[in-house]
């Protein structure tokens, strides 16, 4: 009995030392809930033109624009080859057009082949005109420089066309015109350089032939849109040229 009495005496101070649980405060919980509801109401009343909602909508739109399309879903003016079934870009902004250079699309090889082509001709220009110490007439150096520069212009314009052709139909036809201009310019430089070396000993024939060719090229550029030739007719004229 004395032992039990001692246990009861020891247990009493232990219970006194234990921290007592604080009573549940309903006022604090209600205050937190009211604060959260106020924040939710503020978010709901954010104006549509705010920077937060603008950023969210912009990110959502860019995510949708980054999706590649099938042939049947692509813009009609981009549906050239029915045997290429996937990998078409939709209407893109200028930023996404530049970004699409690093995507895998139906234009990736076209873009990078012309970029590497420009790098090649740029390196050849530096090598032939700056690194090689060739004692050639000034006219020869001018012809070689013009030939390589025309090739670079062709590569740049073609890569620009394949990159930005999906921005809009109007831009598509505009960049296509630049692409064809670069191709025609490179063909002109090839022809004129050939005439230059073919009539090396006949300066009068060389000069008159190159002037006549340059004049024909200028007339075609000026009146090309007014002729309105069909696609196959343009191809025939290009091959004959």
pLDDT value of position 239:
63
Phi, psi of 43 (to 5 degrees): -65, -35
pLDDT value of position 10:
44
Integer angstrom CA distances of residue 52 from 47, 62, 64: 9, 16, 19
- The residue whose two tokens read 């630049």 is 178
Tens digit of each residue's pLDDT, the chain (241 residues): 444 444 444 444 444 444 444 444 455 545 555 555 555 555 455 454 545 444 445 566 777 888 999 999 999 999 989 999 999 999 999 999 999 999 999 999 999 999 999 999 999 999 988 877 778 888 888 889 999 999 999 999 999 999 999 999 999 999 999 998 999 899 999 999 999 988 888 889 888 988 988 888 887 777 655 555 555 666 666 666 5
- The residue whose two tokens read 């549906």 is 79
> Given CA atoms 54, 56, 59, 60 in this order, what sign does their dihedral have?
negative
pLDDT value of position 5:
45
pLDDT value of position 201:
86
Separation between Cα atoms, residue 173 and residue 178, nearest integer Å: 9
For residue 162, say whether it is annotated as part of any ligand binding site: yes
pLDDT value of position 11:
45
Separation between Cα atoms, residue 121 and residue 53, nearest integer Å: 47
What is the three-class DSSP state of 121?
helix
- The residue whose two tokens read 């954010």 is 46
pLDDT value of position 14:
43
pLDDT value of position 234:
60
Nearest Cα residue to 118 out of 149, 143, 140, 74: 149
* 54 alpha carbon, distance to own chain's centre: 23
Give 221-230 contacts, CB < 8 A, sequence gap 24+.
221/181, 221/184
Contact of 179 with 111, CB cutoff 8 Å:
no
């Amino acid at each position: 009995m004395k032992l039990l009495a001692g246990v009861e005496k020891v247990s009493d101070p232990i219970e006194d030392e234990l921290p007592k649980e604080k009573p549940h405060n309903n006022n604090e919980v209600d205050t937190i809930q009211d604060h959260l509801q106020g924040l939710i109401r503020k978010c709901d009343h954010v104006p549509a033109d705010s920077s937060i909602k603008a950023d969210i909508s912009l990110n959502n739109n860019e995510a949708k624009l980054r999706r590649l399309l099938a042939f049947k879903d692509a813009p009609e003016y981009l549906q050239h080859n029915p045997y290429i079934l996937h990998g078409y870009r939709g209407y893109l902004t200028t930023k996404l057009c530049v970004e699409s250079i690093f995507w895998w699309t139906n234009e990736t090889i076209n873009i990078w082949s012309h970029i590497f082509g420009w790098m090649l001709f740029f390196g050849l220009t530096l090598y032939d005109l700056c690194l090689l110490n060739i004692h050639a007439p000034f006219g020869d150096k001018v012809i070689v420089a013009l030939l390589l520069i025309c090739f670079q212009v062709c590569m740049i314009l073609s890569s620009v066309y394949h990159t930005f052709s999906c921005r809009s139909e109007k831009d598509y036809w505009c960049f296509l015109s630049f692409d064809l201009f670069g191709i025609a310019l490179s063909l002109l430089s090839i022809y004129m350089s050939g005439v230059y070396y073919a009539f090396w000993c006949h300066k009068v024939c060389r000069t008159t032939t190159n002037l006549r060719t340059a004049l024909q090229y200028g007339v075609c550029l000026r009146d090309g849109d007014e002729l309105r030739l069909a696609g196959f007719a343009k191809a025939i004229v290009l091959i004959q040229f």
